A and B are shown apart, each in its own frame.
Chain A
Amino acid sequence: MSVPALKKNALNARSSAVMNDLRVYAGAFQAYAQEHGDWPPGGGAPGTFPPGMEGYLGTTNWSRTTPIGGSYQFATQSPQAGGRYAAVIIISSTTDNPVTSDANQLADIDKKLDDGNLSTGNFFLGYRNYPVFVLEH
């Protein structure tokens, strides 16, 4: 197998892993919202469980480094790319753990998960070009 093909396979695998993570987390946050009538509180640091979410996210990869670097962060009323979003999951860089800036990787995730455009839809680039996945607009 050629090196470019290996690189493409690795890119696909990372995209699929992120997509799978985000779907699992979206389900967990929606379950919380249904049971409690609102989203959990935001304002937590990347990689930390939002208050009340340990039971929903405890068995997931939430607190680990994401497949594309950085850490998952939940935020409410979050200003992103000129808009404000009620609830989002952000993949944020942390000290010594940057999220990828690889345009091909991020576009591939968007293509698999959303509309393929990193400026629009429910998956886009927000603050510092960190990937943002919208749970509620």
Chain B
Amino acid sequence: MYRVTTSRLGPDARRVDAASENMDRGELSAEDLTVLLDAFTEIDPADNEESDPHVGVSGRGAKLIIRTSRGRLQVYDVRDHAAPATEMTVPAILARLDRIEAALPVQGDEAEQPPPTAPHRGIAFAMLTLGLILNGYILYSVFYVESVNKKVEVKLLTDADEVKAKESALAGSYATGAKVGDRVIEVDAAGQVRFYEIGAKGPINDSRDTFRIGRHDGLLCLTTAESGVVDLVGDTLVYYKDVYQRRRPLPKE
């Protein structure tokens, strides 16, 4: 079955009817379509020239516009506007409407194209690479955050006896002072460290962490899991440039 519309054609398709701009004739069988197209070829040449009547047919494989000229059928493919009209017989038109392959001219065109030459592939590859680099740069610039917390390269002490001796020697309480606003670092010999600030009503900004002992830039230090690096300078600790003096005896905060 074929879906058929006619434009400026009378009911029998044999005469022009300028008033009938578009008429949907529904689904027609091959026989009915043959009768209609045969009648269409008999249209008066003068009327045909003046009104441009035509038939639109949709089949499984193609959608065609059919005009007539001097008793012959001129076929246009709706999907390829640029293609010139092809003169076809009614059986050829029916075959074209049913042919699935013919409905995919792009594939056919592609198949007929020669494979890309090396320069084309090179340009395509270069453009793809450029696009990927550009996208990568944009993503990098969006998601990369330069932190003010720079990582310090610490070489950990590996000698167990030395580590134990250092931990015992380091254990204690260190503070920037004893007034409200001063800060305290408490180090114990089991690898635990506590940071807090002396507040008006007790410790504030209180946090605990674990540490390991190492060296960086020739300094002995505590490198913590979350709190950065605490340097040991003489008998004091230096943390974010603030000096923490050892407190004796160990106070209870």
Name which of A75, A79, A81, A125 has the most chain B CB atoms within 10 A of its CB. Answer: A79
Tier of interface size on chain A: 20 to 34
**Shortest Cβ distance from residue B239 to the other chain A in the assembled complex, whole angstroms:** 8
Any A CB within 8 A of the CB of B201: yes
Any B CB within 8 A of the CB of A37: no
| Stretch of B96-104, B163-171, B179-187 contacting A (4+ beta carbons < 8 Å) | B179-187
**A43 B201 Cβ-Cβ under 8 A:** yes
Any A CB within 8 A of the CB of B200: yes
Any B CB within 8 A of the CB of A55: no
Name the contact of B200 in the complex, choosing from A41, A46, A103, A128 (C-beta under 8 A): A41
Q: Give the number of chain B interface residues (Cβ < 8 Å).
A: 28
Name which of B138, B180, B243 has the most chain A CB atoms within 10 A of its CB. Answer: B180
Q: Which residues of B contact A81 (CB under 8 A)?
A: 240-242
CA distance A104 to B182 in the complex (A): 29
**B148 A103 Cβ-Cβ under 8 A:** yes
Report the nearest A residue to B240, measured CB to CB: A127
**A103 B204 Cβ-Cβ under 8 A:** no
Any A CB within 8 A of the CB of B213: no
Any A CB within 8 A of the CB of B117: no
B182-220: CB near A (< 8 Å → 1, else 0) gives 110000000000000011110011000000000000000
**B241 A103 Cβ-Cβ under 8 A:** no
Q: Which residues of A contact B179 (CB under 8 A)?
A: 77
Report the nearest A residue to B238, measured CB to CB: A82
**Shortest Cβ distance from residue B240 to the other chain A in the assembled complex, whole angstroms:** 5
Name the contact of A3 in the complex, choosing from B142, B201, B239 (C-beta under 8 A): B142
**A44 B242 Cβ-Cβ under 8 A:** no
Report the nearest B residue to A82, measured CB to CB: B241
Any A CB within 8 A of the CB of B177: yes
**A77 B148 Cβ-Cβ under 8 A:** no
Name the contact of B149 in the complex, choosing from A75, A76, A94, A129 (C-beta under 8 A): A129
**B181 A102 Cβ-Cβ under 8 A:** no
Q: Which residues of B contact A102 (CB under 8 A)?
A: 145-148
**Shortest Cβ distance from residue A45 to the other chain B in the assembled complex, whole angstroms:** 5
**A43 B146 Cβ-Cβ under 8 A:** no
CA distance A103 to B146 in the complex (A): 5
**Shortest Cβ distance from residue B76 to the other chain A in the assembled complex, whole angstroms:** 45
CA distance A16 to B241 in the complex (A): 29
**A106 B148 Cβ-Cβ under 8 A:** yes
Report the nearest B residue to A43, measured CB to CB: B200
Any A CB within 8 A of the CB of B173: no
17 contacts between A and B (CB under 8 A): A3-B138, A4-B142, A41-B200, A42-B181, A43-B198, A43-B199, A43-B204, A44-B199, A77-B177, A78-B181, A80-B242, A81-B240, A102-B145, A118-B148, A126-B240, A128-B228, A129-B149
New A-B pairs, 14, CB < 8 Å, besides A79-B242, A81-B240, A128-B228: A4-B138, A43-B181, A46-B205, A51-B200, A76-B181, A80-B242, A94-B205, A101-B147, A101-B149, A102-B146, A103-B145, A106-B148, A127-B183, A128-B240
A-binding residues in B (CB < 8 A)? 138, 141-142, 145-149, 176-177, 179-183, 198-201, 204-205, 227-228, 239-243
